[in-house]
Structure 1
Amino acid sequence: MGSIAKTCLRSLLKVANSAMGIVGIMLILYSCWMIRVWQRDSSYVDYSSTCPWFMYTFLGIGVTMGVITCLGHIAADSAHGYCLSCYVVIISFLLLLETAMSADILLNSDWEKDLPEDPTGRFHDFEDFVKSNFGFCKWIGFMIILAQGFSILLAVALRTLGPSYYNYDSDGDYAPERLPLVNNKVQPPPYVKDLSDPRSAINYNTWNANK
């Protein structure tokens, strides 16, 4: 019963963890597309004087989520306590960071002024897209947070059950060879005479007398 529960928890953790991996891949592809378009349309721009922070931020977030996804799959496969603990700590920190950013955006009406100027203009395009599709983006964000929270619960439950130890049924078909605890007399080789045997002692004395 315990092995079935662990298998179910592992599968659910992988599914919940894959949601973050899909989001990370989408962010990486979108950031690579933005960087490619910006380099194509702004070939005359001095790159040393401008920093497309928005595109590189998206790229960094995507790579980070991909690494976390890999760590989650490793932790789910091994069910090791240390890996699961690291995974829970990282996801919890990510949730706290997302909560702080969401609170700052909701409570601070001038949050855009705290950000540096984006030379590519992609930040304003993304902002307009979010405003025009606020309902869709809200549900996407809610699903990501729900997947992260669900991953934490599954990882904690899997860590509580402990690692799995595989037992092979074929091992029980063969009884281990056992030796008696007492009177375990080792048989000497045939060419060695056992002097404790009376017949061997008689033969040994006869051989000495003839000698």
Structure 2
Amino acid sequence: MAGRGVARSCVQTALKAANSLVGLAGMAVILYALWMLRAWSAQAAHLHQHLPVPWFIYTLLGLGIVMCLLTCSGHIAAETANGACLSCHMIFVFLLVILEGATTADVFLNSNWEEDFPEDPSGNFAEFKEFVRSNFQICEWVGLSVVGAQALSIILAMVLRALGPEREIDYDSDDDAVPARLPLLRNQAQHGSSYVETNLPRRSDSWTLRILDKANK
């Protein structure tokens, strides 16, 4: 039981660490999207005209929010070790990994992948592409680290779900402790009954002696 509890604690800590890495990446994406949105709003105000919606900015903002929400749900699932919470967390992280993998495969395997995305009026999408191309190795390592943390989060959630919540072990230990306490109660009941039985003859004998004394008088 103690070894299983130590294993559960280690898995919970590792799952929280993996989720924290995903959460940091999500916060970075949100800050980058807010910075681009501020620059876009200033540009629109300077031109005094209604510009199309910058889909790239809102996509990054939504992605960052989803990653932060998954981090929060992962921390809750790791803390409670609830099977339903862990299953929901695994499903949503798996869907996010599938979406990221499909986008990456489209970029690397399709030579005309830019046609699959709508035109970005803010121009931030083109700037982002140039930044990734000029810093490809760094972006590659960052992307692999985030995806690896997400995959590790799924694996650790599966392991923690197999171990089960901690309170089940507490229930088992309580059940095991009940039989050890029952003999004490039985011994007390036996001592109490014997004490009553030994006292009854004494009371009856004293009552008989009093009657005999009164009769002799």
The bucket for the TM-score relative to the shorter chain is: 0.7 to 0.9
Alignment match, 1:60: 62
Secondary structure of residue in 1 paired with 2:151: helix
| Residue identity opposite 2:91 in structure 1 | V
Aligned residues: 193
Deviating 4+ runs (over 2 angstroms): 175-185
| Residue identity opposite 2:120 in structure 1 | D
**Structure 1 segments unaligned to the other structure (5+ residues):** 186-196, 203-211
State the shift of 1:91 in Å: 1.2
Measured in 2, the distance between the counterparts of 1:45 and 1:144 equals 39
Measured in 2, the distance between the counterparts of 1:153 and 1:14 equals 13
Measured in 1, the distance between the counterparts of 2:143 and 2:152 equals 14
Measured in 2, the distance between the counterparts of 1:130 and 1:77 equals 37
Alignment match, 1:45: 49
Secondary structure of residue in 1 paired with 2:27: helix
Measured in 2, the distance between the counterparts of 1:62 and 1:148 equals 14
Q: Does 1:76 align with 2:78?
A: yes
State the shift of 1:37 in Å: 1.0
**Structure 2 segments unaligned to the other structure (5+ residues):** 194-202, 209-217
| Residue identity opposite 1:15 in structure 2 | A
State the shift of 1:176 in Å: 5.2
1:145 counterpart (138, 144, 147):
147
Question: TM-score with structure 1 length normalisation?
Answer: 0.79
How far does the alpha carbon of each residue in 1:110-144 deviate from its partner, in whole angstroms, 9 at most, with x for none? 11112111111111010110011111101111111
Report which stretch shifted further, 94-103 or 128-137.
94-103
Say which structure is richer in helix: 2
Alignment match, 2:198: none
The alignment's C-alpha RMSD in Å is 3.0
| Residue identity opposite 1:45 in structure 2 | Q
Alignment match, 2:101: 99
| Residue identity opposite 1:124 in structure 2 | A
Measured in 2, the distance between the counterparts of 1:62 and 1:93 equals 15
| Residue identity opposite 1:34 in structure 2 | M
1:85 counterpart (70, 84, 87):
87
Question: TM-score with structure 2 length normalisation?
Answer: 0.77
